[in-house]
């Protein structure tokens, strides 16, 4: 999965601000947690509603875990019928969708820094 910059939805951006105030964690770390929470739920059923929110540089968002996140995304999203690998644009759209869904989940489950710690231990 190759990208230089990725914009997330405006709704996710708003929720990230709120979660950051409650937990003290930066948006890039919250997005990484959100991605993992969403991937745990399975394939994204719909794409993110827009891409008018915060913009992340690739390394800021995924860091040295880009290949791992891409592999997990492919594992969860690629069709088992053998339709072939997903192209880069589709993977990026799905990454946006997982961030959107994961941030929504995180906004309900993370009311304090301790909640984020419990989420990490449960994984």
Domain ranges in the chain are: 5-122
**Cα gap 28→37, rounded to integer Å:** 14
- Enter the tokens of residue 21: 């105030």
pLDDT value at residue 8: 97
pLDDT value at residue 118: 87
pLDDT value at residue 15: 97
Asked if residues 33 and 119 have their Cβ atoms less than 8 Å apart, the reply is yes
The string over 17-55, giving b where at least 16 C-beta atoms fall within 10 Å of a residue's C-beta and e elsewhere, is eebeeebebebbebbbbbbbbbbeeeebeeebeebebbe
Arithmetic mean of pLDDT over the chain: 92
Asked if residues 53 and 8 have their Cβ atoms less than 8 Å apart, the reply is yes
The CATH superfamily of 5-122 is: DNA sulphur modification protein DndE (1.10.1220.160)
What pTM was computed for the model? Answer: 0.93
- Enter the tokens of residue 10: 């405006």
**Cα gap 83→85, rounded to integer Å:** 7
**Cα gap 29→41, rounded to integer Å:** 19
Tens digit of each residue's pLDDT (9 = 90 or more) over 48-84: 999 999 999 999 999 999 999 999 999 999 876 566 7
Tens digit of each residue's pLDDT (9 = 90 or more) over 20-41: 999 999 999 999 999 999 999 9
């Amino acid at each position: 999965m190759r990208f230089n910059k990725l914009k997330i939805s405006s709704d996710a951006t708003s929720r990230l601000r709120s979660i950051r105030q409650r937990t003290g964690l930066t948006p890039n770390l919250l997005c990484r947690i959100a991605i993992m929470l969403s991937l745990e739920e399975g394939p994204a059923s719909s794409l993110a509603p827009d891409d008018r929110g915060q913009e992340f540089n690739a390394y800021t968002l995924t860091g040295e875990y880009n290949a791992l996140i891409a592999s997990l995304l492919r594992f969860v999203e690629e069709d088992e019928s053998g339709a072939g690998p997903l192209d880069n644009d589709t993977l990026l759209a799905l990454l946006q969708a997982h961030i959107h869904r994961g941030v929504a989940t995180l906004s309900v489950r993370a009311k304090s820094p301790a909640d984020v710690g419990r989420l990490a231990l449960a994984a």
